[in-house]
Structures are given as structure tokens and as C-alpha cells.
């Protein structure tokens, strides 16, 4: 274990302390939100690298280091996670030391894609037909039933499109089966959609639910590149349907905190892609573009405080910076809000994001267009 030594290093006891499993950019933004509302966060970083160093006290230790987890819980008001790929045993152990929100049972239900899809079916929520194959024959059966192409998704551990492949022919099906990882995969019908969107919602301890506006998400190679919030042309009916889906899940899971539902849209029809049981990349725009950000409301919810307003303020666009962070001078005349996660540059890695906000859709779109031109010019 490396990192802070316990209560002695905690700041003024008057502040509630939130213990966060994970130390990536989401943890960093939780820390920053906490600083604005008098909440101290303490991070648990499982890898050797920490992007949050200096931002908050951090413990660097393995997920199964019980001494380090005791240290994390010591004096904490509540605990949470910023990444869903935390071993269930870690969350169960921590739950015996301190209240964890969302509860460990949420992870049990959604961490494994097979159980998550089963939950949607059980609740009658719309999602692409799927199956969990036991052998090559059942993979072929899925291909016959759903048609090709099919999407194979690892049951555990996938993110940013990793752990996924599109199967276009029988040879792909055979290869996917032969190269399956230790936990297997699910096979899902390929959904044709006009666009992708998501709803980020928050459930308080008292049962209150608030939703931010549904946002449009643009992806490249399975990675989110741009979020537009809110979408000017989408109907109140679409927002209501997305809210109904999210509320059903939040209530069923006895959820406390922020949750995101990723959706495929075809006109007025929504199909669930997946649930993220945490603050989400498609909610980063809320830092500058909404009355209360997803990060602040997550802290509010898990601490039992009243929730903040989720209404948008103007029109926002969030652009992910992948691989490297552009130098500030390229964009500083554009009124861009710059979030540098201080990650080591690596191809395809989310290293930061930029947000522009306009008073009107036209202003937002014009700013986004200029920003995208500048970014394209840097990468040429
Ligand atoms: N059934 C499907 N049909 C068509 N496209 C799909 C399907 N499932 C996923 N995709 C595409 O792949 C992208 C990534 O898929 P998904 O969200 O399931 O993976 P992920 O690795 O969990 O990604 P992340 O963690 O970044 O959200 C989706 O946003 C969508 O563009
Ligand atoms: Mg996704």
C-alpha cells in the first residue's frame, strides 16, 4: 500500500469524507465537485498510475488489500466507486466497514453484461435481443436467430468498445468462440439506429429522482467523441420515455447516486444499450452546462443531502480529447472549458475533455464547429 496514512492526514473533521474506489478522471471530477460544496474525497487507486495525485488524499493498493481498504474506510462518512470494474469482494468487504452507495447489490446486478441484459428483460425494458452462448453451436443458433452481423460483448471488464467485436460471417463466429475470454461473452443483435443518446439520472436517499436532459452521443470506433446537450429537435415524449426507463431501473435497484443509461434512438423509439452504475462521460457537460453537475449531485445523493437542479443552462457540447491533450493556446480564444485529466498520452485514451456552451443552439453549434476545425488542424 502506498499513500496517505490515515485520519491524521484528513482535513477539518467538519467536512464529510467520501471514500472513492478508483482514481481515474471520474474520481478527479468528484474531488473537484466536493471542493465546491465542502466535501472531502479520498481516493483508492488500484494501479501504479494516479491521475489524481495532489488533487486529494489517495491510497494506492491492490483491490484485495484489506489493510488498505480499512484505511480507506477509517473516518469516512460514506463510500462509492467511480469505476464499475471493482471486484465484488472488494465492495462487499468495504460495505462491512462503511455505508457504500450505490449498494454492492447494484454491482451484482449490472457488472456482468449477462445479468444486466437479463434485468432489462425481466423489467420489460426495451433492449436488443441477446443470448449467452455455452458452445459454438449456440453461437451459430444466435446467428441464425438474430441474423448477421452480430455483436459479441465480453461479459465482464469491457469499456470504450474494448472486449467487443462485430461478427459478419460464420468464420467470425468460430473465431469469437475460440478466442473467448475467461468469463465468456454475450451475443447481441446488431441494432440499426439513427443516433445514440443517453440519460443521466440521480436517485436520492429519500427516493427523489432527477434527470438531466437526454443528450446525443457521437462515437468513433466504439469510443464517445462528442456529446450534445440538450438536443433541440428531440420531443418531450422522448425525454419522458428515457426518464421512465431510468426511473424503473433506479427504483428496482434501490439505487442511490448517479446512473447513466446509454440508448439507441430510432425516431421516437428507444432501445437500451447498457447501464453505467456511476457518473458518466456523457454527463461531463453538466459541469458547465447544467444548474448542478452530475458529480455534485452524486455526492449530494450519497450523503443524503437535497439534490441540485438538473436543468440545462444554455446549450453545451463536450468533446473528448483522445490520445493527447491539445495545447491550451489552440483553443483559449474560444471560451472553451478545458479539463485536462493529466493522463500519460496513449493512443485512443481519454486524456481530457473540452466543453463549449452557447446561449442558443446556433451559438453552441458555431462554437463547436470552430473547435472541431481547430482540433482537426492540430492532428493533421
Ligand atoms: N448491438 C449493437 N448494435 C450496434 N452497435 C452497437 C451495439 N452495441 C454496441 N454498439 C456500438 O458500440 C459502442 C460501444 O458499445 P458499448 O457501450 O456496449 O461498449 P462499452 O465498451 O461498454 O463502451 P463504453 O464503456 O465506452 O460505454 C456503442 O456506443 C455503439 O456505438
Ligand atoms: Mg457504452
Residues comprising the chain, all counted: 380
Q: Is residue 86's pLDDT more than 80?
A: yes
Measured distance CA(335)–CA(23) in Å, rounded: 28
- What are the DSSP calls for 176-242, one per residue? HHHT--TT-EEEEEPPP-SEEEEEEEEE-TTS-EEEPPPEEEEEETTEEEEEEES-TT--HHHHHHH
| Nearest-CA residue for atom 13 of ligand 1 | 222
Residues 6+ apart with CB under 8 A from 220: none
| DSSP H/E element including 45 | strand 40-45
Q: Is residue 214's pLDDT more than 80?
A: yes
- Architecture per CATH, 195-379: 2-Layer Sandwich (3.30)
* Average pLDDT across the chain, whole number: 93
Measured distance CA(147)–CA(140) in Å, rounded: 10
Q: Is residue 154's pLDDT more than 80?
A: yes
**Do 81 and 69 form a contact (C-beta atoms < 8 A)?**
no
**pLDDT of 160:** 78
| DSSP H/E element including 8 | none
Task: Please measure the distance between the N-terminal and C-terminal CA atoms of the chain and give it in whole angstroms.
Answer: 43
H-helix segments, the chain: 25-37, 66-73, 88-95, 104-110, 113-122, 136-146, 170-178, 236-252, 286-289, 294-302, 361-379
Whether 158 is in the pocket of ligand 1, judged by its Cβ within 6 Å, is: yes
DSSP 278: S
* 3-state SS, residue 71: helix
Q: Among 130, 164, 188, which residue has the most ligand 1 atoms within 8 Å of its CB, making it the best to mutate?
A: 164
| Nearest-CA residue for atom 12 of ligand 1 | 222
123: pLDDT confidence band, cut at 50, 70 and 90? very high
CB-side neighbour CA atoms (13 Å) of 198: 25
Q: Is residue 253's pLDDT more than 60?
A: yes
| DSSP H/E element including 77 | none
Phi, psi of 153 (to 5 degrees): -130, 130
Q: Quote the ligand 2 centre to 275 CA distance (angstroms).
A: 8
Measured distance CA(22)–CA(61) in Å, rounded: 10
Mean pLDDT of 130-157: 96
Ligand 1 atom nearest residue 158's Cα? 21
Q: Among 113, 116, 273, 349, which residue has the most ligand 1 atoms within 8 Å of its CB, making it the best to mutate?
A: 273
**pLDDT of 199:** 98
Three cell numbers, residue 207: 427516493
Domain ranges of the chain: 2-100, 129-189, 195-379
Give the CATH number of domain 2-100: 3.40.50.20
CB under 5 Å of ion ligand 2: residues: 262
Superfamily the domain 129-189 falls into: ATP-grasp fold, A domain (3.30.1490.20)
Residues 6+ apart with CB under 8 A from 27: 20, 41, 43, 52, 56, 82
Q: Quote the ligand 1 centre to 222 CA distance (angstroms).
A: 6
Q: Is residue 184's pLDDT more than 50?
A: yes
Tens of pLDDT along 306-344? 999 999 999 999 999 999 999 999 888 899 999 999 988
Ligand 1 atom nearest residue 191's Cα? 3
Task: Considering only residues 96 and 54, tell me which one the structure prediction assigns the higher pLDDT.
Answer: 96
Mean pLDDT of 249-261: 98
Q: pTM of this prediction? A: 0.95
Q: Which of 40-49, 351-360, 369-378 has the lowest mean pLDDT?
A: 40-49
DSSP 127: B
Measured distance CA(188)–CA(120) in Å, rounded: 13
Taking Cα atoms as reference points, which of 188, 298, 303 lies closest to residue 250? 298
Long-range contacts of 158-166 (CB under 8 A, 24+ apart): 158/113, 159/85, 160/222, 160/223, 160/224, 160/348, 160/350, 161/219, 161/221, 161/222, 161/223, 162/222, 164/222, 166/190
* 3-state SS, residue 365: helix
Q: Which of 28-37, 138-147, 370-379 has the lowest mean pLDDT?
A: 370-379
Q: With the C-alpha atoms ordered 234, 235, 239, 245, is the resulting torsion angle positive or negative?
A: negative
Mean pLDDT of 9-33: 85
Q: Provide the edge-to-edge strand list for the sheet that holds 130-131.
A: 130-131, 185-189, 150-154, 164-167
Amino acid at each position: 500500500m502506498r499513500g496517505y496514512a490515515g485520519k491524521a492526514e484528513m482535513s477539518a473533521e467538519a467536512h464529510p469524507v467520501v471514500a472513492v474506489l478508483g482514481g481515474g478522471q471520474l474520481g478527479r471530477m468528484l474531488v473537484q465537485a466536493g471542493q465546491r460544496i465542502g466535501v472531502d474525497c479520498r481516493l483508492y487507486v488500484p494501479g501504479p498510475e494516479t491521475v489524481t495525485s495532489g488533487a486529494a488524499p489517495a491510497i494506492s493498493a491492490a483491490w484485495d488489500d484489506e489493510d488498505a481498504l480499512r484505511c480507506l474506510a477509517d473516518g469516512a462518512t460514506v463510500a462509492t466507486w467511480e469505476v464499475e470494474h471493482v471486484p465484488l469482494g472488494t465492495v462487499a468487504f468495504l460495505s462491512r466497514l462503511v455505508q457504500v452507495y450505490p449498494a454492492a447489490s447494484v454491482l451484482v446486478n449490472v457488472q456482468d453484461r449477462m445479468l444486466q441484459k437479463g434485468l432489462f428483460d425481466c423489467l420489460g425494458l426495451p433492449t436488443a435481443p441477446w443470448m449467452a452462448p455455452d458452445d459454438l453451436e449456440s453461437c451459430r443458433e444466435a446467428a441464425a436467430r438474430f441474423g448477421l452481423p452480430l455483436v459479441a460483448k465480453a461479459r465482464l471488464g469491457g469499456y470504450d468498445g474494448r472486449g467487443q467485436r462485430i461478427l459478419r460471417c460464420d468464420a467470425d463466429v468460430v473465431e469469437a468462440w475460440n478466442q473467448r475470454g475467461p468469463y465468456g461473452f454475450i451475443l447481441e443483435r446488431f441494432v440499426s439506429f439513427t443516433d445514440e443518446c443517453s440519460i443521466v439520472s440521480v436517485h436520492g436517499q429519500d427516493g427523489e429522482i432527477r434527470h438531466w436532459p437526454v443528450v446525443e452521443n457521437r462515437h468513433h470506433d466504439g469510443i464517445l467523441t462528442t456529446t450534445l446537450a440538450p438536443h433541440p429537435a428531440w420531443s418531450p415524449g422522448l425525454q419522458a420515455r428515457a426518464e421512465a426507463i431510468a426511473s424503473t431501473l433506479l427504483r428496482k435497484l434501490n439505487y442511490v447516486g448517479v446512473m447513466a443509461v446509454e440508448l439507441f434512438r430510432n425516431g421516437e423509439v428507444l432501445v437500451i444499450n447498457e447501464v453505467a452504475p456511476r457518473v458518466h462521460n456523457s454527463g461531463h457537460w453538466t459541469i458547465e452546462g447544467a444548474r448542478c453537475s452530475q458529480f455534485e449531485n452524486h455526492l449530494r445523493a450519497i450523503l443524503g443531502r437535497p439534490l441540485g437542479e438538473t436543468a440545462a443552462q444554455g446549450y453545451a457540447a463536450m468533446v473528448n480529447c483522445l490520445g493527447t491533450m491539445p495545447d491550451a493556446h489552440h483553443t483559449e480564444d474560444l471560451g472553451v472549458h478545458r479539463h485536462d485529466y493529466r493522463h500519460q498520452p496513449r493512443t485512443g485514451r481519454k486524456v481530457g475533455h473540452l466543453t463549449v456552451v452557447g446561449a442558443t443552439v446556433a451559438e453552441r453549434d458555431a462554437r463547436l464547429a470552430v473547435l472541431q476545425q481547430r482540433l482537426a488542424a492540430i492532428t493533421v
